[in-house]
A and B are shown apart, each in its own frame.
Chain A
Amino acid sequence: MHHDAVLAETIGIRGHGDDEIEAYTARPMDGTPRGGMIVIHHMPGYDAATKEITRRFATMGHHAICPNLYTREAPGADPDDAAAAARAQGGVPDERFVGDAAGAARWLRSLPTSNGRVGAIGFCSGGRQAVLAGIAVDVQAAVDCYGAFVVGTPPEGFPLQVSPLADRIPDLQAPLLGLFGNEDSYPSPDQVDELEKLLQEHGKTYEFHRYDDAGHAFFAVDRPSYRPAAAVDGWQRIAGFLARHLEA
């Protein structure tokens, strides 16, 4: 019988500025060398749904780690309180995210069963951060699930520390998988077109899939935005993309 034990636990890792940050990890226990995934939580925080996704990657055959990007604002707090505290302080600065993601990548590569390859996936605001990881962190695969403001301009008076990444697309070094709903406004289909055009202009390796009858957050099983057909196909696309770029 196939040995499919998975260990899931909360640990401390070193992130930006060598700070210790909380992270949730799940990893297969069968001793086979494998790649690792950084799971980037959405703006509502390091929550039960994101931890479930982290465990899912372990069952798919990858090491996985989800750093709590709000550790500094709200150590030990409930995820929703932590998200509210982080929002009130302007959100996560990009530089700090990059340092935390780099720390997560280091941790994944330090595992005795690491094959040295690491990917990043993010949902919502985490989708934009997954693209940022593909630009600024040593990762071999990036998966952007409906991230807003990769291109496009945030509204005037915007209080959060988010800026578009369009001018940094030339520096994207990881293959990018993008999964989008055609009924989404952030990012809109036009913005997805704009990002695709930039990727083509700069000769980047990418794969986009866009779903009708799906808007934002179509992967979120506990929200009314859930769209089973898009989510099922999306997970298959993710599995195929990671098989090619992390485990080949």
Chain B
Amino acid sequence: MCTYSTEKLDLARSSGKGADGWFPLQTATVYYDHPVHAPDPHTVNIDFLNPERGPGARVAVELSLDSARELLAALQVTVERAAEH
């Protein structure tokens, strides 16, 4: 399926490391669609972007659905713990 389904969010005070080193992140897109590299027909893909720096300013991941669920749980736990600090 070509879901087109895309969630987009703004990022603040965040950074990522791409091919040319660290850069500030402005947006992220999260979508379930065909991967470029991962070996499943569809994956949960996240692109961390800085459009001002061009298309190459991108940190990309393609996660199997199981791995995405694990990441989601880990983020949930980590963010909850962080609130206690």
Contacts and interface: CB of A to CB of B under 8 A. Distances in A.
Given A81-B58, A224-B41, A88 B2 contact: no
A148 B34 contact: no
A216 B8 contact: no
Contact of B6 (A77, A147, A159): A159
Contacts, number: 86
Contact of A43 (B4, B7, B39, B47): B4
A26 B2 CA distance: 27
B4 A160 contact: yes
Interface string B12-36: 0000000000000001010101101
A149 B2 CA distance: 10
A91 interface: yes
A85 interface: yes
B51 A85 contact: yes
Contacts of B54: 74, 77
Given A44-B34, A223-B34, A224-B39, A84 B58 contact: yes
A98 to B, nearest CB: 18
Chain B interface residue number, banded = 20 to 34
Interface residues of A, number: 38
Contacts of A195: none
A87 interface: yes
B5 interface: yes
Interface string B33-75: 1101001110000010101001110101000000000000000
B41 A81 contact: no
A81 B49 CA distance: 10
Interface in A34-65: 42-44, 47
Contact of B2 (A155, A159, A186): A186
A146 B41 CA distance: 15
A130 interface: no
Given A74-B55, A84-B29, A223 B41 contact: yes
Contacts of A194: none
B11 to A, nearest CB: 12
A75 to B, nearest CB: 9
Contact of B55 (A73, A155, A215): A73
